[in-house]
Amino acid sequence: MYDLTIQLDHVPGALAQMGETLGNAGISVEGGGAFTVNGNGIAHFLFEDGEAARVALEDVGIKVLAVREVLVQRLKQDVPGQLGKLTRMMSDAGINIETLYSDHDHQLILVVDNPQLGRQVSEAWMNKHF
């Protein structure tokens, strides 16, 4: 799975254009969100094929700032403190979480500065908690 960091114009219809472009290309959004930061539209969306999504968006002039592999993590939704414990494990390993959101299957999506080490922590989390 891949996270795309997408720059959108902060105008009505920018998100619609993005969604229509992806739909017309047969590309499904698997999770993510869009935000306004300092007057700029920034979106993080999850795709099976990050490269295909990038090409489709850039072909219509939508700027893709980054395509990055993600960590997909399951939390026990009925157990309080899961997010804090997992993110503390990442922090203790020296991993900086740059983006965090949920996918459509209620899984936690993390974009981290050190994916290889992040995968090790993620696997340790799964072995300990599942």
The predicted structure's pLDDT at residue 128: 87
- In the predicted model, is pLDDT for residue 30 greater than 80? yes
Residue 130's pLDDT band, with cuts at 50, 70 and 90, is: confident
23: amino acid identity, one letter: G
pTM of the entire predicted model: 0.91
Domains of the chain listed by start with CATH number: 2-69 (3.30.70.260), 71-129 (3.30.70)
Residue 36's pLDDT band, with cuts at 50, 70 and 90, is: very high
Contact between 90 and 121 (Cβ < 8 Å): yes
The predicted structure's pLDDT at residue 12: 95
For residue 72, count other CB atoms closer than 10 A to its CB. 15
The two structure tokens encoding residue 13: 């219809």
Reported as a single tens digit per residue, the pLDDT across 53-112 is 999 999 999 999 999 999 999 999 889 999 999 999 999 999 999 999 999 999 999 999
* Minimum mean pLDDT range among 3-12, 19-28, 75-84, 106-115: 75-84
Long-range contacts, 124-130 (Cβ 8 Å, 24+): 124/89, 125/73, 125/86, 125/89, 126/73, 126/74, 129/76, 129/82, 129/85, 130/74, 130/76
